[in-house]
């Protein structure tokens, strides 16, 4: 009888210990996080050692803050020229990109652009092609078109010029035939068509407050968000074999469902993450699993990017601090299941803890495939 009593006590003790261990395990794991997620992930300590590519920066001066910090943190860069009014002329941006490529072939690549000057000239398309041919010969691997197409530029009759205008078609065919890539900033975030107090992220609220010219909620006479996306998609439908990157999450940043539809519809398209991470994080605050599943399913179609800018007016220490904050926050979000505090959101967001092979694609391998001649030493 005494032996049975001792035996029963041992069973009870064993059950109690097991219950405590299970409760401890449950308490250290987020309710929407499977511990198996982090079994094959990078850590914060891996940030500098893993090779990465930032496919969207604007270096507008012969300075080296972005380049030097990128080199120190194992990044390659795509320096993008763009037809923006307060940027240097496109030819100057291209010249800077060419010099940076020549000095740093293992870590630099550059994109060119064209302006809409002389749009009404019947020979306009051929003039642009002539310029692009020269830029490609000088090392450009892609061409960027900006939101002024669809939102600002007009023809001689005062009509807005959209990306699906037939005058662009020979240019896009030339880009495809040359084996280059078209980058497109179509329209603006969907928040652009909302009042400031209805916008989902702080960075949009701040940007459109400071740039009312582009805050379409204030300009109901202008085309809608849907008009901008439709024109871009019409262009892609006409040029289905054109290698394409929809920058800023293809301006579909507000919905991973819409991004998925876009990528399914256009198999030669990818999208970069520049200045739209907060929109994704806003969504993952509401449904982390859905966002995580999106990145895993479309891991071959997404390019890491930031939209860092450097000019003659840049304060180097301020830029370096900002770059490191963005890079490290993004790395933490993609690679861990920890809570991440970002300035664009009022509350922290939990990281996605993506597998290493997914992170490698988003951060480097996809970029090296899409821009196949980039980030190679001069002797390769």
In a domain? residue 1 = no
Give the structural domain span for 38. 34-370
Q: Render 324-375 in DSSP notation, one character per residue.
A: HHHHHHHHHHHH--SEE--TTSSS-EE-----HHHHHIIIIIHHHHHTTT-S
The reported pLDDT for the residue numbered 2 is: 45
| pLDDT (tens digit per residue) in 307-355 | 999 999 999 999 999 999 999 999 999 999 999 999 999 999 999 999 9
Alpha-carbon dihedral angle through residues 35, 39, 41, 46, given to the nearest 10 degrees: 110
User: Tokens at residue 91, please?
Assistant: 């030819």
Q: Given pLDDT bands bounded at 50, 70 and 90, which one contains residue 27? A: very low
The reported pLDDT for the residue numbered 39 is: 74
pLDDT above 90: residue 158: yes
Average confidence score pLDDT of the chain: 91
In a domain? residue 23 = no
In a domain? residue 378 = no
Distance between CA 241 and CA 235 in Å, rounded? 11
In CATH, what number is assigned to the domain containing residue 148?
Answer: 3.20.20.140
In a domain? residue 152 = yes
* Domain count for the chain: 1
Residue 379, burial from CB neighbour count under 10 angstroms (0-12, 13-18, 19+): exposed
Is the separation of the CB atoms in 244 and 144 below 8 Å? no
| pLDDT (tens digit per residue) in 231-252 | 999 999 999 999 999 999 999 9
Is the separation of the CB atoms in 50 and 328 below 8 Å? no
In a domain? residue 343 = yes
Order of strands across the sheet that contains 75-80: 302-303, 269-272, 244-246, 181-184, 142-145, 108-113, 75-80, 52-59, 308-310
Supply φ then ψ for residue 205, to 5 degrees.
-55, -45
The reported pLDDT for the residue numbered 19 is: 42
The reported pLDDT for the residue numbered 37 is: 73
Q: Given pLDDT bands bounded at 50, 70 and 90, which one contains residue 213? A: confident
Distance between CA 242 and CA 11 in Å, rounded? 69
Percent of residues, the chain, with pLDDT higher than 70:
89
In a domain? residue 330 = yes
The reported pLDDT for the residue numbered 214 is: 81
In a domain? residue 10 = no
| pLDDT (tens digit per residue) in 43-94 | 999 999 999 999 999 999 999 999 999 999 999 999 999 999 999 999 999 9
Residue 183, burial from CB neighbour count under 10 angstroms (0-12, 13-18, 19+): buried
Residue 199 is classified by DSSP as -
pLDDT above 70: residue 160: yes
In a domain? residue 3 = no
User: Tokens at residue 123, please?
Assistant: 């020979």
pLDDT above 50: residue 30: no
């Amino acid at each position: 009888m005494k032996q049975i009593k001792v035996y029963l006590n041992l069973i009870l003790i064993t059950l109690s210990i097991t219950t405590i261990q299970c409760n401890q395990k449950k308490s250290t794991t987020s309710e929407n996080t499977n511990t198996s997620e982090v079994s094959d992930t990078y850590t914060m300590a891996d940030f500098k050692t893993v090779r990465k590519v930032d496919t969207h920066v604007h270096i507008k001066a012969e300075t080296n803050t972005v380049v030097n910090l990128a080199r120190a943190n194992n990044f390659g860069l795509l320096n993008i020229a763009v037809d923006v009014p307060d940027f240097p002329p496109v030819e100057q941006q291209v010249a800077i990109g060419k010099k940076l490529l020549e000095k740093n072939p293992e870590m630099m690549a550059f994109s060119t652009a064209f302006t809409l000057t002389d749009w009404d000239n019947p020979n306009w398309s051929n003039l642009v092609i002539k310029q692009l041919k020269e830029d490609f010969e000088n090392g450009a691997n892609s061409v960027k078109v900006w939101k002024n197409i669809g939102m600002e530029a007009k023809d001689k009759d005062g009509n807005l010029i959209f990306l699906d205008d037939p005058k662009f078609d020979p240019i896009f065919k030339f880009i495809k035939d040359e084996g280059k890539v078209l980058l497109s900033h179509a329209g603006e975030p969907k928040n652009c068509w909302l009042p400031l107090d209805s916008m989902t992220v702080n960075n949009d609220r701040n940007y459109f407050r400071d740039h009312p010219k582009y805050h379409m909620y204030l300009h109901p006479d202008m085309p809608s968000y849907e008009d901008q996306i439709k024109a871009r998609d019409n262009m892609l439908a006409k040029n289905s074999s054109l290698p394409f990157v929809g920058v800023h999450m293809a301006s579909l940043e507000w919905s991973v469902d819409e991004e998925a539809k876009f990528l399914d519809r256009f198999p030669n398209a990818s999208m970069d993450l520049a200045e739209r991470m907060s929109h994704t994080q806003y969504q993952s605050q509401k449904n982390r699993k859905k966002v995580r599943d999106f990145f895993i399913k479309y891991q071959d179609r997404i390019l890491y990017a930031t939209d860092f800018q450097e000019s003659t007016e840049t304060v180097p220490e301020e830029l370096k601090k900002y770059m490191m904050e963005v890079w490290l926050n993004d790395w933490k979000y993609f690679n861990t299941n920890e809570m991440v505090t970002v300035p664009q959101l009022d509350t922290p967001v939990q990281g996605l803890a993506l597998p290493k092979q997914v992170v490698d694609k988003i951060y480097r391998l996809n970029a090296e495939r899409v821009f196949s001649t980039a980030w190679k030493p001069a002797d390769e």
